[in-house]
Amino acid sequence: MELTRKSRRRAVGFARDERGMAAVEFALIAPTLIVLFMGVFEMTLRFRAVEEATRYVHQVADLTSRDKTLTTADLSAIYDASLHMMKPLTTTDRLSMDVAAIGYQNNEDYDPYLLWRRAVGTEIPLDLDKARGLGIQGESVIRVAISYRYDSPLTSLFSGPTIEIKREAYARPREVRLVTMDGAIDHGGAIEYFTGTEIPE
């Protein structure tokens, strides 16, 4: 009888003892908090990469639309500058750039057509219809597109896939209606590849 009473007292005491509850609760909640924190950190890194890529493509469009004439060497220098323009991201072997001048035919719809095109790295698909309505016959727009292959530290840690960020921007020439490339305005739409210090694989 006495043993039963002691057992009951011990059981009641054990039930009322809250020592270690915080540790148990932390053990249950900690994994969820860690995953949540890592998710927020990962999204922050991705948003930063997208923001840098977007800023860079607009800067290149602005730079190329300011000049009356351009050369392939000019575009190569702009491409090489990505090392500094996209900091803190690493662009070596990761960045492709595609620059094109789009003119407009002398018809009722002013259909867009390709004047010249220069690219480094991987060719980025060009949809001329996106330039429709941005000019008329005798005018042009500069289209700049980039493709950036981004690996975040967390994605790499867990062997996740590479994220490909693609962005494009259009700009109207500032001083002339048609920008000359390597001494000619119209290259018949031919694409020419150039190289820079940082050449994507």
Which residue type is seen at 153?
P
Domain containing 136 equals: 3-193
* 43 assigned to some structural domain: yes
88 assigned to some structural domain = yes
Kindly state whether residue 200 falls inside one of the protein's structural domains.
no
Q: Hey, CA dihedral for 60, 62, 66, 69, is it positive or negative?
A: positive
In a domain, 100, yes or no: yes
For residue 90, being part of any structural domain is answered with yes
* Three-state SS annotation for 26-58: HHHHHHHHHHHHHHHHHHHHHHHHHHHHHHHHH
pLDDT at residue 196 above 70? no
- For all residues of the chain together, what is the average pLDDT? 83
Confidence at 201, pLDDT banded by 50, 70, 90: very low
Q: How many domains does the chain have?
A: 1
Confidence label for 129 from pLDDT (cuts 50, 70 and 90): very high
157-186 pLDDT, tens per residue?
777 788 899 999 999 998 899 999 999 999
pLDDT tens per residue, range 40-79: 888 888 888 889 899 999 999 999 999 899 999 999 998 9
**By the 8 A CB rule, do 102 and 133 touch?**
no
177 domain-assigned: yes
Beta bridge partners of 167: 146
